[in-house]
Amino acid sequence: MGRNLRLNINIICLLLFLTIGVQAVNAQDSFPNPVEIINLGILGESDIRQCIDHAPTFHWSYTDSTENMLVDMIIAQMTNSGDSTIWRSNPQPYSNNRFQYICFGALTNGNSYSFSIRAFHPEYKWSSWGSIYFTMNTPPETPKITLEKPPVFENEIMSFPITSAGDLQVPSSELVYNFQITEDLQADSIIFDTLVTGLSGNNLLVTKTLSDNSRFFARIRSGDGVEYSPWSQAVEFYVNRINDSPGRFDLLYPVSGDTLNEIPVLSWNPAVDPDDSLGKGIKEYIVKYSIDPDFNYRVTIERTPSFQTQLLPQNIENHRSYFWKIIAVDKGGLSQTSNQVGTFTLDTGNQPPLVPVVFAPLNGQIMTPESQIIWQFENDRDAADRLSFDLIILDHTSKEPLFVDHISDSLLELCRFRLLMDINLSYNNIVRYSLRRIDLSRLADGRFYDVQISIYDNWGGKVSSARTDAFFKYDDNINTPPQEPVSGFFPDSSVIKTPKPLFRWNPGYDPDVSDQIRYSIQISLDSTFNASKYIVLECPYNQTGVRLKTRLLENKQYFWRVRSIDLEESRSDWSRTNSFWVNQYNEPPAGPINHISPKDLVEISPNDGFWWQNCNDPDPGDSVSYLIEINESLKFYPPAIRHLIPPGQSAIRLDTLMLPSENLSGVSLQSIPGKNRLKDNEMYYWRILAVDRSGLTCPPPKTPQRFIYNEQNDPPNLITSGFSPSKGEIIKTQTPLIRWEPAGDPDFSDLQQSISYELEISQSVLFSEDQTHLIPVNAGESFWQITKSLSENTKWFYRVRAIDPHGAHSPWSPIISFITNQFPEPPCVVKTGFLPKDSVIVDTPTPLISWIAADDPDPDQTARDLYYIIRYFITNKKPLKYYYSNTERGVPSLQLPNLQEDKYYGYQVAAVDPDGNKSDWSNVNFFGVNAIDNPPQSFQLLSPWFYQDSVETDASFSWSAAADKDLNSVIKYSLFYGTDSLFHTNTNEILIQNSINDTITFSPLGILERQTKYFWKVVAVDNGGHETWGSNSNQTPFVFTTVGYRKFYDSALMPERCILHQNYPNPFNLTTTIRYEVSEFGPVEIVIFNVLGKRVKSLASGNHSPGVYEVHWDGTDSNGSPVPGGMYLCRMRASDFIFRKKVLLMK
């Protein structure tokens, strides 16, 4: 389009030129040429040798001007080979006195150009050419700040190495440099800005006081007087005029006196140095650690550049507490000490002390109060550990500690320097401990004592001397009377067979060293030795036995005692009194024995025993055993069981005999060997014989006693007969008398009169606990009268078992059942299993009614004996009219006759037994009859109506609701709408559930397309799948067309009159928007016409409500084909108004 427009303009200018040229030729000879180009220049350029605008605007003046002037303009590039025209306007009318040449890329930097212009006045000839020559400027090069790494400036004078720039048109010496210092890389904060003309050498010296410990950026650019080069890349530098000491910092680990099991890695927070990034940051950390908290001695120093260090094992001792601190040193020599002093203790495991060696006493040597205990120890393997000692004196026999002296590590140091009495420590760790240091009152003269040395370190380690020969005998140098003999006495509590016994004893004890003992013995019939007559024997020194030469009396008890006498005639106390009997000749026990239990013909079990009166033996010290014999007959040669009972057999069931416990003995049957030879429920004889240690027995009883042996209590026999009521009997009473056959018992003593019974009666055949009554029945009675009425029409179960006097139960009898039926009753109400179910719709007019058969409480009647009565009725008829039908006996179903279509029925059922007793009516159940399934009835589509025009884009679809006379019918609707009349593509399908409203409306979520033809239809579907189309829309879908405009709904924009606004943009190339206003409801039409008055396209039509609207035109006709560029008219017709606007389409 632009090319055609320029061509048309050139043709018009050429015609004008020819016409004016002819006139100029005619007047050339007679008129002068007063028109000249003056004041030719370039707007905005200060130096035409360095032009920077690549779209220059040329301006000039005329000596004479008119509106009909023509101009001819030429732009040429000047080269060494001549001028080259790059653009010419050719003669054309031009009334302005300035011209901007816009052709990007035509004017290039560094080249020279000329702009020439001449003017033609209609009344005169062409003016002479006016020209101006100019050169396009070349921007200078970008200089560079050449820094390999960010420098740190320590004073106000800063030197920056610069690579200077060059320029094609200006000498380097004439370039100007713009240097800036900024606080950020984006140069948002400029703190120094200067211009420098020329550079002295390759360095730029800048004097500026900048903030200390800060980072800055520098950049530079060059200028040729006309324009600047781009900025160089910003370089980073730092200012650090004053060195700051490192900041304070904390220790991390270990800090608070922890006990560690391995050599720690010391760690700390890094110190923050303000000069850290400025070249004078932290140089190193000095680590100091010592056992002295003031770090005055034994200080170890290490250096490290990191924030942690591993201590060297050779510098650390186990069980030692250490203190440590860190000193941070920067590269300028300034330092800072950590905020804390850390502490820790190393414990890599304790090595216990070595076992001390005892040198004295050894092997029971004699020690006096002036003697010394001597031992030697080794230094602890953990060098830092301090040792302490326990000296322990123990009784040699009982090993009970008698004295403990604790020698602490501080006392041990005093001993090393001989500052403590009674203890001495030599250079080789030999300790001499004086015996007089202990409490000698705890030591007994002449007794033996052990010495034990225990060593402790201060970390829980402990060892003790282990020598068993480190014991001594104590001598206090004072004579002590001897002690009496305390053991080894003979005879003692024994019977001797000689009247001249030998008396012996163990030696008495004399605590005095090297003392000797002789003995004196007394013998008497009096244990108190108060009688005037007793025998005295003397025994020489160091002998512990003597024989009596005088005869003692037979079967007499004697008492004797002994005491010690030392060399100085010091006498001990008498020893304890010892006794003995003299029995040279043996005699049998006394008899016969009195039998106590069991009494004659008493029944016993294996848990019972035999009891008898003890007998005496005339021999002193002789013991009596008892022989029990058991046999089936009076002849005990040999007996069935013979068992010897040792002396001292104790009673085990004495409390059951009701006899005093003195002088009785007994034995349980369980403990008698051979008891398994006894037969159950048999009679046996038994007797007891006394036997002394020599085997002599007492006389037997004249008449042995008898007993019945019952090895185990047998339960009573099972009850199997005699039951009343009998099994399955129907009884006419609720309080029956229950009988059974009396039970027998195999045990000898269990008679029928002693047997009791337990009766269980229950409604459960399993006799569950919650449904069972347990009834005890007295002994000897085999019946029970029920006193509390049993429930009617109930099946009851009962069983019986027998119990003997010992509590043994027989098995339960067979289970017997009976049924109580005192009064006949009607059947139960029919409650469940109804078909058809409540509220069901059946598809037949002759439905089959069925139910679960009813029960009859009477035990002799079952469901097969019942027949049923059915009554049914139509629910919507008032008053209700009942219809009745009967079933066959035992049949719980009935088919009803023909029922009315589309009606609801109710029905009830009652059961009748053979006695004519009828149950109550069941609950009413309802059902509907729908044998013929009808489709939904016809309905109408309402809006948009058929072929409706100008439908709003937010329109809704509505139709009348369809009716269906089928029972419980549920109607669903499917709405189809789209731009395809066949509904194959561009179609929306919406499913809508049944509505209770007479009219159904659906509003799409999105708006419809403007100025578009739509098709829509609706189908109603019942729950049987039958369809009915609204308004026959399946054959003829409804059609409507949407409006072609967009309406604004802001009530504040409601217009007062009809207006057509100018389109925008205008002119346009692709699409333009046309806005219009409507003040009252009525038909409105927006149409595009061409300049010949031909209708091109309708943009909007139809009734409009008041409001502001807009439409769009995309430069196409009503067929969608593009129209040629040019002038068009937009016409608005609204009511009595017609408006027009020119619309220019550019191609």
Q: 656-672 burial, b if ≥16 CB within 10 A, otherwise e?
A: ebeeeeeebbbbbbeeb
Is residue 883 located within the same domain as residue 918? Answer: yes
Is residue 235 located within the same domain as residue 333? Answer: no
Enumerate residue ranges in the chain where pLDDT < 50: 1-32, 651, 653-658
Task: Write down the pLDDT at residue 200.
Answer: 64
Four-residue CA torsion sign, 283, 284, 285, 286: negative
| Domain limit, last residue, from 73, 105, 135 | 135
In terms of Cβ atoms closer than 10 Å to its own Cβ (0-12, 13-18, 19+), residue 36 is middle
| Domain limit, last residue, from 1042, 1068, 1091 | 1042
CB atoms near residue 1122 (< 10 Å): 11
Q: State both tokens at 1084.
A: 């409105």
**CB distance 1122 to 1046 below 8 Å:** no
Cβ neighbours for 991, distance < 8 A, ≥ 6 positions apart: 972, 973, 974
The span from the CA of 346 to the CA of 319, in Å, is: 5
Task: Write down the pLDDT at residue 27.
Answer: 34
Distinct helix (H) and strand (E) counts, the chain: 2, 81
| Domain limit, last residue, from 300, 324, 346 | 346
Q: State both tokens at 973.
A: 């609707």
The answer to whether position 379 is within a domain reads: yes
The answer to whether position 1067 is within a domain reads: yes
Q: State both tokens at 1145.
A: 């389409």
CB atoms near residue 588 (< 10 Å): 19
Angle (CA) 122 125 126, round 5°: 100
DSSP string, 143-185: PEE--SS--EE-SSEEEEEEE----SSS-GGG-EEEEEEESST
Output the CA torsion 467→473→476→477 (10° steps): -130
Of the candidates 235, 240, 241, 143, the residue with the CA atom closest to the CA atom of residue 181: 235
Cβ neighbours for 1060, distance < 8 A, ≥ 6 positions apart: 1074, 1076, 1086, 1130, 1132, 1139, 1140, 1141
What is the H or E stretch that residue 942 is in?
Answer: strand 941-943
Which residue matches tokens 């099972």? 718
The span from the CA of 393 to the CA of 453, in Å, is: 9
**At 1081, which CATH number?**
2.60.40.1930
The span from the CA of 944 to the CA of 1015, in Å, is: 10
The span from the CA of 725 to the CA of 786, in Å, is: 12
**CB distance 636 to 629 below 8 Å:** yes
The DSSP bridge pattern shows strands 737-739 and 729-731 to be unpaired
Q: 223-256 burial, b if ≥16 CB within 10 A, otherwise e?
A: bbbbebbeebebbebbbbeebbbbeebebeebbe
| Distance, CA of 950 to chain centre | 65
**CB distance 595 to 665 below 8 Å:** no
**CB distance 604 to 708 below 8 Å:** yes
Task: Write down the pLDDT at residue 336.
Answer: 92
The answer to whether position 17 is within a domain reads: yes
The answer to whether position 299 is within a domain reads: yes
The answer to whether position 698 is within a domain reads: yes
Is residue 6 located within the same domain as residue 100? Answer: yes
**CB distance 434 to 372 below 8 Å:** yes
The span from the CA of 516 to the CA of 104, in Å, is: 147
Is residue 919 located within the same domain as residue 967? Answer: no
pTM of the prediction?
0.35
Is residue 258 located within the same domain as residue 340? Answer: yes
The answer to whether position 72 is within a domain reads: yes
Of the candidates 687, 531, 705, the residue with the CA atom closest to the CA atom of residue 601: 705
The answer to whether position 506 is within a domain reads: yes
Q: State both tokens at 753.
A: 């009169």
Of the candidates 546, 539, 541, the residue with the CA atom closest to the CA atom of residue 567: 541
Domain count across the chain: 10
Contacts of 699-707 spanning 24+ positions with Cβ under 8 A: 699/591, 699/592, 700/591, 700/592, 701/592, 701/593, 701/595, 702/592, 704/634, 704/636, 705/595, 705/598, 705/599, 705/600, 706/600, 706/601, 707/598, 707/600, 707/601, 707/602, 707/603, 707/604, 707/683
Output the CA torsion 1135→1141→1146→1147 (10° steps): 30
**Cis before residue 1124, ω within 30 degrees of 0?**
no
Length of the chain: 1147
Cβ neighbours for 729, distance < 8 A, ≥ 6 positions apart: 818, 819
Single-letter residue type at 237: F
**At 796, which CATH number?**
2.60.40.10
Of the candidates 1046, 1048, 1077, the residue with the CA atom closest to the CA atom of residue 1061: 1077
Is residue 891 located within the same domain as residue 978? Answer: no
Four-residue CA torsion sign, 696, 699, 703, 707: negative
Exposure on the CB side of residue 174, measured as CA atoms within 13 A: 8
The answer to whether position 351 is within a domain reads: no
N-to-C CA span, the chain: 5
- R_g (Cα) of the chain, nearest Å: 70
Residues spanned by the domain of 997: 941-1042
Q: How far is CA 672 from CA 408, 608, 644, 649, in A?
A: 70, 11, 9, 12
Task: Write down the pLDDT at residue 281.
Answer: 82
Task: Write down the pLDDT at residue 29.
Answer: 37
322, β-bridge pairs: 344
Is residue 9 located within the same domain as residue 130? Answer: yes
Is residue 277 located within the same domain as residue 167? Answer: no
| Distance, CA of 927 to chain centre | 56
Q: State both tokens at 424.
A: 């001495």
Which residue matches tokens 């816009």? 102
The span from the CA of 291 to the CA of 549, in Å, is: 87
Is residue 921 located within the same domain as residue 953? Answer: no
The span from the CA of 905 to the CA of 431, in Å, is: 123
Task: Write down the pLDDT at residue 984.
Answer: 86
Task: Write down the pLDDT at residue 4.
Answer: 43
Single-letter residue type at 877: K
Is residue 1050 located within the same domain as residue 1038? Answer: no
Is residue 1053 located within the same domain as residue 1038? Answer: no
The span from the CA of 230 to the CA of 865, in Å, is: 118
Task: Write down the pLDDT at residue 45.
Answer: 87
Is residue 30 located within the same domain as residue 66? Answer: yes
Exposure on the CB side of residue 775, measured as CA atoms within 13 A: 18
The DSSP bridge pattern shows strands 641-645 and 624-631 to be antiparallel
In terms of Cβ atoms closer than 10 Å to its own Cβ (0-12, 13-18, 19+), residue 882 is exposed
The span from the CA of 123 to the CA of 718, in Å, is: 161
**CB distance 846 to 896 below 8 Å:** yes
Single-letter residue type at 46: S
